[in-house]
Amino acid sequence: MNVLLTGGAGFIGTHTAVRLLAAGHDVVVLDSLVNGSAEAVRRVERISGRPVPFYCGDSADAILVDKVIADHGVDAVVHCAGLKAVGESTGQPLRYYRNNLDALLTLCEVMEARGVRRLVYSSSATVYGDPAQVPITEDMALSCTNPYGATKLFGERILGDLAAAAPEWHIIALRYFNPVGAHSSGLIGEDPQGVPNNLFPYITQVAAGRRDRLRVYGDDYATPDGTGVRDYLHVDDLARGHVAAIEHLGAAPGYRAYNLGSGHGVSVLEAVRAFERASGAEVPFEVVERRPGDIAACYADPSAARRDLGWTAVKTIDDACADSWRWQTANPVGYGD
């Protein structure tokens, strides 16, 4: 299958590209490089031993998207592109709504015009808002506590309405929980621009001495140790989930949504201790005020993905810590481009 991977130069996109290529698919990458790196795409080629055509541009650029789809005979799209920081979105809501929704709408319009109606959409567990209970199943009520989550929730509604109006569409939304880790080679990993918004890259940079200490946002949540509990999913398992989704798109028309998570909750302090074990380095931290939009606990029931897609997570939090540390030590300043 010829797959257009938007956001394919980013953390999740590069690992997904590696897995798609290993499964025998051809991949073309479109990425604006706001959160990605051209060097990362070159490293995907090194890992896979296969060429990966790369276009630097925005998924909201209809002319460019149309050219890529036409020139490469695209059969299906994996849409990973988008701004993705919860905290940042609360301070820049217009930027998040404009970027994330414009890109999705434009992409779908071009796909429709070209007769390409197979799409895997990068969604998020943030569509569950502050869940009434955990683990979270796909049939639970949807809501949002921040603009980033709202863009994912609106995106899912757009796609659901599209599939209802045009049954020839085959769409799967993947509700990611918390992707962590890196490729086992140490060649690709998470390389945030500026101050990391996510826990794991911040931990790795503190352990490596790039930052003095980790900020733990709140220790007064209703959790066992007071810190936020999340479902940390190894990025390689997440990448395999995209392959499973692409290969099951034809199983049923319409719109479907699946959780991709490990099914286990890990607190911030548990994650810190796991990283210290894996790296042998100390991770000093300080507790600060909660961030707007954060919730106490969020972890998945991934049984639907296991049943319908044949997918399950196989890597542990310790695997993720070891791979993150390998990436950090091999690439102390990230991709450096």
Whether 213 and 284 have beta carbons less than 8 Å apart is answered as yes
Per-position b or e across 127-139, b if 16+ CB within 10 A of its CB = bbbebeebbbebe
CA distance 78 to 76: 7
Separate counts of helices (H) and strands (E) for the chain: 11, 14
First to last CA, the chain: 31
148 is catalytic: yes
Catalytic, out of 55, 96, 128, 148: 148
Q: Of 49, 43, 57, which is closest to residue 7 (Cα–Cα)?
A: 57
Burial of 252 (0-12, 13-18, 19+ CB in 10 A): exposed
Phi, psi of 147 (to 5 degrees): -60, -35
Question: What does the block give as tokens for 122?
Answer: 């990068």
Q: Which residues are catalytic?
A: 148
